[in-house]
Amino acid sequence: TVIDKNNIQLILRIVKYAKLDKNYELAISSLKKVSTKDDQMQVMIDREIFMTYIDMENYIKAIEHGQTLVNIMLENTDIEDLVLSEACYNLAICNRYKGYELYNSVVDIINSATDDKGILQKALEEADSAIEYFTVSKERFYDASSFNPDDKTSSNNAKELNKVIKQLKKLFIPAIKEKL
């Protein structure tokens, strides 16, 4: 069926039911069909795509899409602070999730006490990537708390990530380099 791209309400209804059925591909493809010249509407559609990637647990796509979305939202003075705060928070969560995936892999390699240079080199690269994800996450948590004065969780999350980043830099990476 051909959907009139301008019938946004119908598309949003399709998206709603597609997401309820966990048919995320249909939801995203439907959202991507929407064409609008209204910047506010485009931001809301992009936000819905971002949230759908999160629902799919496709954090890499969510991060790619979310980063662009947050940058657009930061430049748009019409975006409500709480909406911006929520987008920053969700982007922080995605980055933290990917960071911890890598962090846990590094911990497993360290705990395995391996001397395999290839595995150790991989751990070093994963540690560096984890730091990158954690750093972005930390920045977005701070953004989230700055746009929402009631949000105490985000700044605590950012402080927690500072500790994890230090642990990677001061303990894990030197320990791995020592074995290389």
Sequence-distant (≥ 6) Cβ neighbours of residue 62 within 8 angstroms: 50, 53, 54, 56, 90, 91, 94
Q: Which tokens in the block code for residue 103? A: 């962090």
pLDDT of amino acid 5? 57
pLDDT of residue 1: 47
Which tens digit of pLDDT belongs to each residue from 53-85?
999 999 999 999 999 999 999 998 889 999 999
Q: What is the DSSP-derived secondary structure letter of residue 37?
A: S
Q: Mind listing the pLDDT tens digit for each residue in 124-158?
A: 999 999 999 999 999 999 999 999 989 989 999 99
Q: What is the pTM of this model?
A: 0.92
Closest Cα to residue 131, out of 178, 87, 88, 176?
176
